[in-house]
Structure 1
Amino acid sequence: MKFLRKLLVFILIVIVFGGAAIWIIYYFKNIEKKELTYELRKNTNGSYAELEKGFTHYELDGPDSGKVVVLLNGFSVPYYIWNGTYEYLTSHGFRVLRYDMYGRGFSDRPNVTYNKQLYFEQLNELIDQLHLKQPFNIAGVSFGGLMAADYTAAYPEKVNKVVLIDPAYNFDHPSTPELAENFLEALDPEKRALSQMEDFKYPDKHPNWVEQYRPQMEYKGFRHALVSTRYDYGSDNNKIYTALNNAHKQVLLIWGKDDKTVSFTYSKDIQQVLKTEFLPVDDAAHLPHLEQPDVVNPALVTFLKK
């Protein structure tokens, strides 16, 4: 009995000290120390809309009479991922909206489950509050492409044409427990920041990309938004793109041939279930609109104006 008591005491001590060590490591590694405040936001570009789940950071420009185009950002990069394309579309007469999805950029990070419904509600509320004409055109890059397909299938009456740029594919539920994934993200935030350069074929041409990305990581809730999205958004490739095909929309699929983030080979899988116009982009990786804007941006205008 004495041996068992000593063993139990030893195990308890290990658990207590182990837990304390993990908490200390987490505390010092966790860079999410800041809150998003009014004072901070008033010194940023863009505008803010107060929605049910919090403030949404957005930018809206172009003539009031122009066809509306909504741009959806990627998994973790805010709306600046559309720099260049946003200005190009507005200069060609479109009314263009881009915004930071909840958890990204300067939008709020509500402590909720980041599932499809959350993302759909944010977009629907924003469209209504800004009184934008419907049906509108929708374009998404990476995760935004996946969401554009899902959203159009769910609300076909709201959408006119669809543009998918290197859309996320095999966006599966991770195998590790969610709590462990959150902890691992906290241990090495720089890994996620630096990994953004993998989206380019020529990262040296975008020297400020990581520097531009890092600030959003310091605000509480960023990591939860990303981790919850991976675990709770839910996706089934065939169902998503089959449902979009059944919505009978004009779709333009654009893909960088040298994409290592979402392999170019998936473009063939999508086209097996979804009727699209297809633009393969030479000499570009995951973000062809940034690496080959002279190819992608005119193609967007041509498609949207047809």
Structure 2
Amino acid sequence: MPRPLSFLLLPALLAVLLGGCSRYELYQSAIDLERSSSGLQSDTVKVGSLDIAYLKNQEANTGDTIVMVHGFGANKDNWTRLANELTDDFNVIAVDLPGHGESSKPLDLDYSLTGQARRLATILNALSLDEFHMMGNSMGGAITALYSAIYPEQVKSAVLFDPAGIFEYESELVELVTNGENPLIPSQEGDLERLMAFALEEPPFVPWPILGVMEEKAIANREINQVIFAALRESNDDPAFKERISGIQAPVLLIWGKEDRVINYQNGQVFEATIPNAELILMDDIGHAPMIEAPEESARLFREFLASRASR
């Protein structure tokens, strides 16, 4: 049964605070608790010169594997709430892509969408994974789509949450970036809270000491985020992206929040028309990350999608 994260988190945080721990220790305790409450544990793997951090099931089961790919400026812990609904029946692998989270952050890598998809293949090969379902959000959704096209023999199904890669319909973010403002790259105090309010229609509760540490980490990653974002701007809305994903063979579920201010949800219609075996579901009152804002509903949609495809 899924574990109720919010009810577990608050008493534990109170206990840590009363114990006199620093806010950094409090942050790590909260992260560890949310991971373990979701049936996950952290691990690392060496891939060439890169150290790659990832989450995996605490206890493996006989179910299929799901590889989860986060978005720009995010990390593997964006998936814990959704994993909480799935680890009883599936083996979850949530990776920190290079440049993100606890993985290596070299400034000179190829951070284009295709470059990241091919690098992800080397990571999953190092983890001895050869067949799996995939889920990706935003940048990770575009990477998941490309991965499904490039390595069709590995991907059993793909779920794309508000994916990047196609921008035929502009969003509020495009207008802001064009005017020299990027809410996705925190650079000063208060920016992370503004980012969460911009990206999420229903941001999850985050206690202030933890939010402060998260913001410090995000600001410290400003330089690498700028490098990655520049690479994404060059590769986004590339006609070759649409051509490549039109060859995806696996069934694809598109889940898109209708209140998404980062990527216009109408681009979902373009994805659905481009990918041969795709189905689009729009979620009311949800922003850019349905797996964070509505994890139970996201898990239900995934299970129903698998069941519907199995019955065909």
Q: What's the TM-score, normalizing by structure 1? A: 0.72
The number of residues matched between the two structures is 256
Change beyond 3 A, Cα 1:273–1:190: same
- Aligned partner of 1:302 in structure 2 is 304
Instruction: Work out the CA distance in 2 between the residues paired with 1:157 and 1:244.
Output: 15
Change beyond 3 A, Cα 1:223–1:123: same
Q: What does the per-residue CA deviation read over 1:188-224, in whole Å, with 9 as the maximum and x for residues that have no partner?
A: 4753563132122133x434484463243365xx333
Change beyond 3 A, Cα 1:118–1:55: farther
**Is 1:73 matched with 2:70?**
yes
- Aligned partner of 2:199 in structure 1 is 199
Query: Radius of gyration: which is bigger?
Result: 1
**Is 1:288 matched with 2:282?**
no
What are the residue-to-residue correspondences of 1:74-223 with 2, within 5 Å? 74-91=71-88, 93-113=89-109, 114-116=111-113, 118-132=115-129, 134-168=130-164, 169-170=166-167, 188=188, 190-191=190-191, 194-203=194-203, 205-208=204-207, 210-211=211-212, 213-217=214-218, 219=220, 222-223=221-222
Structure 1 unaligned segments of length 5 or more: list them.
Answer: 1-39
Change beyond 3 A, Cα 1:73–1:212: farther
Instruction: Kindly indicate whether the alpha-carbon contact (under 8 Å) linking 2:257 and 2:287 is maintained by their aligned counterparts in 1.
Output: yes
Instruction: Kindly indicate whether the alpha-carbon contact (under 8 Å) linking 1:73 and 1:81 is maintained by their aligned counterparts in 2.
Output: yes
Change beyond 3 A, Cα 1:84–1:297: same
Structure 2 unaligned segments of length 5 or more: list them.
Answer: 1-27, 33-40
User: Which range moves more in the overlay, 68-77 or 145-154?
Assistant: 145-154
- Aligned partner of 2:227 in structure 1 is 228
Instruction: Kindly indicate whether the alpha-carbon contact (under 8 Å) linking 2:257 and 2:284 is maintained by their aligned counterparts in 1.
Output: yes
Change beyond 3 A, Cα 1:187–1:89: closer
User: Which range moves more in the overlay, 274-283 or 70-79?
Assistant: 274-283
- CA RMSD of the aligned region, Å? 3.4
Instruction: Work out the CA distance in 2 between the residues paired with 1:186 and 1:162.
Output: 30
1:141 is displaced (CA, Å) by 0.7
**2:305 aligns to what SS in structure 1?**
helix
User: Which range moves more in the overlay, 277-286 or 233-242?
Assistant: 233-242
1:121 is displaced (CA, Å) by 4.4
1:302 is displaced (CA, Å) by 2.6
Instruction: Work out the CA distance in 2 between the residues paired with 1:212 and 1:303.
Output: 37
- Percent of residue pairs bearing the same amino acid type: 23
Pick aligned residue for 1:279 from 278, 281, 296: 281
Structure that is richer in helix per residue: 1
Instruction: Kindly indicate whether the alpha-carbon contact (under 8 Å) linking 1:59 and 1:99 is maintained by their aligned counterparts in 2.
Output: yes
Change beyond 3 A, Cα 1:82–1:289: same
Instruction: Kindly indicate whether the alpha-carbon contact (under 8 Å) linking 2:256 and 2:282 is maintained by their aligned counterparts in 1.
Output: yes
Instruction: Work out the CA distance in 2 between the residues paired with 1:53 and 1:90.
Output: 30
Change beyond 3 A, Cα 1:54–1:66: same
Paired amino acid for 1:243 = R
